[in-house]
A and B are shown apart, each in its own frame.
Chain A
């Protein structure tokens, strides 16, 4: 009987050790982030502004546009401009392949595709965990950054980026 008692006790201890408390409900002010990589650096944007992620297919270069506009793509009948944040932020340039992804973001009344080298996945992060950007972290204009996490994830302020008039390509206004 002592053996049975020992077995029972061991099993109970093991169950206690393996038992996990149920994850508490996430606080309402958590950030849902889509993480991707540009060159060797990791960036993230808020998920609520992202429509979908797509494979880069049939990019058509568009003449007469700023350098950060790589061209346009046809996505299920929608014509989207593709912006290269690396050009925008002055990161090292690489050639385009089929492995590149387009992160489709919604700017309210318009949609644009952001070019990403690799899309890592979706994660959550507390805004309190973000620290102000260091001046030495790349050459990104501090105004487009919400902050940098402890594991050096750069969180972009997509709303401010999209509302920047320099981003918007409008021939009429430029003229």
Chain B
């Protein structure tokens, strides 16, 4: 038969429960008996109490009857009546209490008749007292019927009481025996139950807990990430066997996950994990993680590339920045020097401005002189103009005479040419004349020579005349230009006069301005002192700037190297 763990535990619990039920039954039965006995004891005590009260009531009505007999007072009648009623009541209750015991019932019947007889004796005594007198009543009492009835009653009550007490002793004994039996039974059952429960518990515990401990150890090793635990339980078919196989499958799944994680850790993001079921949280998480990693690593690759190039640009920019900061520091240094020079210059300018103010005053006097000179110059220009006109006329006449000379020279040239021709013809004729023409030939030669000299002379004159004409033309033009220059000079002189006039006003204003400039220069000097201080501060700041730029450059280089390293890192990932 196949015993799985549930069945084993159920069987163990059933055995223990049976022992427990047995103990409970014994105890219940014992309690039941005890309760019954207690009820009987109570009943007995109640019977005894009722008998006692009955006797007490009888004695009470006896007392009332005696009181009435002795005194004859009616006030004793009432207690007598109520006492009679009470006696009747107690007697009825007693009869009810003992009706389960025939012997006792018989005794109570007897007691009832005795009581009735006693009460009749008492009533007779009272009737006698009431009807006649004390003595009659005394007779009744002395008759002794009442005392005998009373003694019987006491004997009967004693018999009842004795019987009841005997019953009480028997019942107590029975109760003690039952209690002892119950105690023995409960103890035995309890010991048996403890032993049985211990054995069953030990067996079940050994059967269940050691595999569970092995599984717990395996689970602990899995918890700390060790997937090499062996959970083989030797092919058990119960729930623990199934649990072990589940553990084995879980570890296989975890090992495949670990292998995939190992692959991803090695940078190969192509590892794929197939979820084992729609509820495979880890599998789905792995798939999502892999996809997200691919996306993120892709982003990181792009980011690393961007970071690398950006860092390179930053390095370049920071290098430029550093060099720019150095240049600016140098420029600031130069500027500081320049500001110092400017400050000294401003000092000089302030002194100069005072000098200018004095000079402006002197310039006022000079302009007055200048105005007079300008008027003189205007008059002189008018005279120059008249003389220039005269020169122009002379030049015109000279030009005309040169023309006439040119015409004369042309005539002389013509004559020379004709003479030459004549000489040639004369030579020809002389040649034709032969020996007689020899002398004529010499004359012709001389004429030709003269003609040639005339021609050369006219050539020279023409050359000279040409030079004269050119010079004349140039002189005419120069005269024209001179005229224009004189006109312009005249206008300029007038303008100069006006200018000097306005200059006079300007110089006056300049004098005032020079005074203001002197004051402003003083303020400027103060301002330049402040600027020099500020430039010193700027210089310090610039030096700090250079240091900061160097640090920034170093940081940018580190960043660039970091970007390169990051790029090399992300290059290790296979997408």
Q: In the complex, what residues of A have CB within 8 A of residue B424's CB?
A: 34, 53, 119, 121-122
Q: Which of B418, B432, B448 is close to A121, meaning CB atoms less than 8 Å apart?
A: B448
Q: Which of A48, A54, A99, A119 is close to B431, meaning CB atoms less than 8 Å apart?
A: A48
A52-B428, A119-B424 given. 10 additional CB < 8 A pairs?
Answer: A32-B431, A47-B428, A48-B431, A48-B432, A54-B421, A99-B417, A119-B421, A121-B424, A122-B424, A122-B427
Among B421, B423, B448, find the residue whose CB has the most chain A CB atoms closer than 10 A.
Answer: B421
B85 at the interface (CB under 8 A from A): no
Q: Is the CB of B431 within 8 A of A53?
A: no
B56 at the interface (CB under 8 A from A): no
A55 at the interface (CB under 8 A from B): yes
With A and B bound together, what is the CA distance between A39 and B239 in angstroms?
A: 146
Q: In the complex, what residues of B have CB within 8 A of residue A54's CB?
A: 421
Known: A121-B427, A122-B427. A53 touches B432 (CB 8 A): no
Q: In the complex, what residues of B have CB within 8 A of residue A53's CB?
A: 421, 424-425, 428
Within 8 A of B (CB), among A6-51: 32, 34, 47-48, 50-51
Question: Can you spell out 22 A-B residue pairs with CB atoms less than 8 angstroms apart?
Answer: A32-B431, A34-B428, A47-B428, A47-B432, A48-B431, A48-B432, A51-B428, A52-B425, A53-B425, A54-B421, A55-B418, A55-B421, A101-B421, A119-B421, A119-B424, A121-B423, A121-B424, A121-B427, A122-B424, A122-B428, A122-B431, A122-B441
Q: In the complex, what residues of A have CB within 8 A of residue B432's CB?
A: 47-48
With A and B bound together, what is the CA distance between A34 and B424 in angstroms?
A: 9
Task: Give B441-459 as 1s and 0s: 1 = Cβ < 8 Å from A's Cβ atoms.
Answer: 1000000100000000000
The interface of chain B, by Cβ under 8 A from chain A, is 417-418, 421, 423-425, 427-428, 431-432, 441, 448
With A and B bound together, what is the CA distance between A2 and B417 in angstroms?
A: 55
> Which residue of chain B has its CB nearest to the CB of A46?
B431
Shortest distance from the beta carbon of A153 to any chain B beta carbon, whole Å = 16
Q: In the complex, what residues of B have CB within 8 A of residue A122's CB?
A: 424, 427-428, 431, 441
With A and B bound together, what is the CA distance between A55 and B424 in angstroms?
A: 12
With A and B bound together, what is the CA distance between A99 and B410 in angstroms?
A: 13
Number of interface residues of A (CB under 8 A): 15
Q: Is the interface of B mostly helix, strand, loop or mixed?
A: helix
> Which residue of chain A has its CB nearest to the CB of B448?
A121
With A and B bound together, what is the CA distance between A101 and B441 in angstroms?
A: 21
With A and B bound together, what is the CA distance between A34 and B418 in angstroms?
A: 17
10 nearest A-B pairs in the assembled complex, by CB-CB distance: A122-B427, A47-B431, A32-B431, A53-B424, A52-B425, A50-B428, A119-B424, A53-B425, A47-B428, A53-B421
Q: In the complex, what residues of A have CB within 8 A of residue B418's CB?
A: 55
Q: In the complex, what residues of A have CB within 8 A of residue B428's CB?
A: 34, 47, 50-53, 122
> Which residue of chain A has its CB nearest to the CB of B435?
A25
> Which residue of chain A has its CB nearest to the CB of B452?
A121
Q: In the complex, what residues of A have CB within 8 A of residue B423's CB?
A: 121
Shortest distance from the beta carbon of B314 to any chain A beta carbon, whole Å = 85
With A and B bound together, what is the CA distance between A52 and B423 in angstroms?
A: 11
Q: In the complex, what residues of B have CB within 8 A of residue A121's CB?
A: 423-424, 427, 448
> Which residue of chain A has its CB nearest to the CB of B430?
A122
Shortest distance from the beta carbon of B120 to any chain A beta carbon, whole Å = 220
Task: Give A38-75 as 1s and 0s: 1 = Cβ < 8 Å from B's Cβ atoms.
Answer: 00000000011011111100000000000000000000
Shortest distance from the beta carbon of A72 to any chain B beta carbon, whole Å = 21
With A and B bound together, what is the CA distance between A51 and B421 in angstroms?
A: 13
Shortest distance from the beta carbon of B42 to any chain A beta carbon, whole Å = 190
Q: In the complex, what residues of B have CB within 8 A of residue A50's CB?
A: 428
Shortest distance from the beta carbon of A111 to any chain B beta carbon, whole Å = 14
Among A32, A54, A55, find the residue whose CB has the most chain B CB atoms closer than 10 A.
Answer: A32
Q: In the complex, what residues of B have CB within 8 A of residue A47's CB?
A: 428, 431-432
Q: In the complex, what residues of A have CB within 8 A of residue B431's CB?
A: 32, 47-48, 122
> Which residue of chain A has its CB nearest to the CB of B423?
A121
Among A54, A55, A119, A121, find the residue whose CB has the most chain B CB atoms closer than 10 A.
Answer: A121
Shortest distance from the beta carbon of B340 to any chain A beta carbon, whole Å = 84
With A and B bound together, what is the CA distance between A49 and B203 in angstroms?
A: 181
Shortest distance from the beta carbon of A31 to any chain B beta carbon, whole Å = 11
Q: In the complex, what residues of A have CB within 8 A of residue B448's CB?
A: 121
Q: In the complex, what residues of B have CB within 8 A of residue A52's CB?
A: 425, 428
With A and B bound together, what is the CA distance between A34 and B421 in angstroms?
A: 12
Shortest distance from the beta carbon of B414 to any chain A beta carbon, whole Å = 9
Within 8 A of B (CB), among A93-121: 99, 101, 119, 121
> Which residue of chain B has its CB nearest to the CB of A118?
B420
Shortest distance from the beta carbon of B315 to any chain A beta carbon, whole Å = 83
Task: Give A115-141 as 1s and 0s: 1 = Cβ < 8 Å from B's Cβ atoms.
Answer: 000010110000000000000000000
Q: In the complex, what residues of B have CB within 8 A of residue A101's CB?
A: 421
With A and B bound together, what is the CA distance between A66 and B147 in angstroms?
A: 233
Shortest distance from the beta carbon of A105 to any chain B beta carbon, whole Å = 11
Shortest distance from the beta carbon of A7 to any chain B beta carbon, whole Å = 34
Q: In the complex, what residues of A have CB within 8 A of residue B425's CB?
A: 52-53
With A and B bound together, what is the CA distance between A50 and B427 in angstroms?
A: 11
